[in-house]
Amino acid sequence: MTPTPFIENTEGVFFGLPAEQYHAAPGVSQSTLKKFGEEPTPKHYQDSLKKPRKVTPEMEFGTILHTSVLEPEKVVGSYYVRPAKYKGDDGTMRPWHGGAKVCKEWEAKNNDKPVIDTEQFDSIPAILASVNRHPRFSAMLESGRREVSYFKRDEETGLLLKCRCDLMAQDSNEKTFIGDPKFTFRGGASREEFQKQAELMGYDIQMASYLFITGASHFVFMVCERESPFESCEWELEGVNEKTGEDYRVGGMRKYRALLNRYAECVANNSWPGYPDALKLEPSKYYKSN
């Protein structure tokens, strides 16, 4: 698709669209559908939209890593590093303690940005080095486009769909690849653990939706562990899911379409139902009048 000026509620591919503008723009993303599907009922989903999103320190560090990989120029000055030690009243250096007056004062002064500890800060260069040692992904970083926003009208439901690709690049055969960094626990980059996480986190749905919306050929997950020795692997959800016996792409698209159709029904009827009534008979069938 040829890039066009951004206009809300229209199809197109947009480079350089600010993240805040993308998220605020109309359109149904795969993350919206996954949240919709995770709630007990559509009514629960609608209620969840009224509640502020909780951002944990772990999530903030994940965002810092994500930006460090894809847009390193934007991460500079975007967070604080909590010192490992502080100077006590007697002049000696002591391990950082949240209850100490000096530490409390530092926290109060530096509360307008995310805070990471020195161990996390020291891990960033090693994580970046681990990611960049993969020739295919490093080539995508070198030649690809970052944070590309797509909007596409779904013919079946009429809904405007959207996705934001972390990284997009073409190979020598003009096949389009989508790259997506994921940061995981120690041991989480192995084939077995990644497949578990893919099932748990709905990565197959993400892959299917992005390929459907963009028309890309491949979706590459760059999975890197946050802890030493910072192992990383490139994974594609291709072939048969060993757990379900279903092709990953087929299964991901089936789940995505089911969620999208259910969501579209709620939108079309302007109805977000809760649990269905279990009792179908009139009360008189159960109780006698006194």
Which helix (H) or strand (E) segment holds residue 44: the answer is: helix 42-48
On whether residue 279 sits in a domain, the answer given is no
On whether residue 14 sits in a domain, the answer given is no
pLDDT at 130: 97
On whether residue 3 sits in a domain, the answer given is no
Instruction: Give me 217's structure tokens.
Output: 């050929």
How many whole angstroms separate alpha carbon 204 and alpha carbon 219? 10
What is the reported pTM?
Answer: 0.88
Domain count, the chain: 1
* Residue 240 pLDDT > 90: no
Confidence label for 7 from pLDDT (cuts 50, 70 and 90):
confident
What's 206's domain CATH number?
A: 3.90.320.10
Strands (E), 36-144: 80-82, 85-87, 93-95, 115-117
On whether residue 276 sits in a domain, the answer given is no
DSSP 3: -
On whether residue 170 sits in a domain, the answer given is yes
Range of the domain at 226: 25-51+133-267
On whether residue 259 sits in a domain, the answer given is yes
On whether residue 109 sits in a domain, the answer given is no
Give the residue carrying structure tokens 């020739």. 135
On whether residue 178 sits in a domain, the answer given is yes
How many whole angstroms separate alpha carbon 154 and alpha carbon 251? 19
pLDDT for 100-121, tens place per residue? 999 999 999 999 999 999 999 9
pLDDT for 201-228, tens place per residue? 999 999 999 999 999 999 999 999 999 9
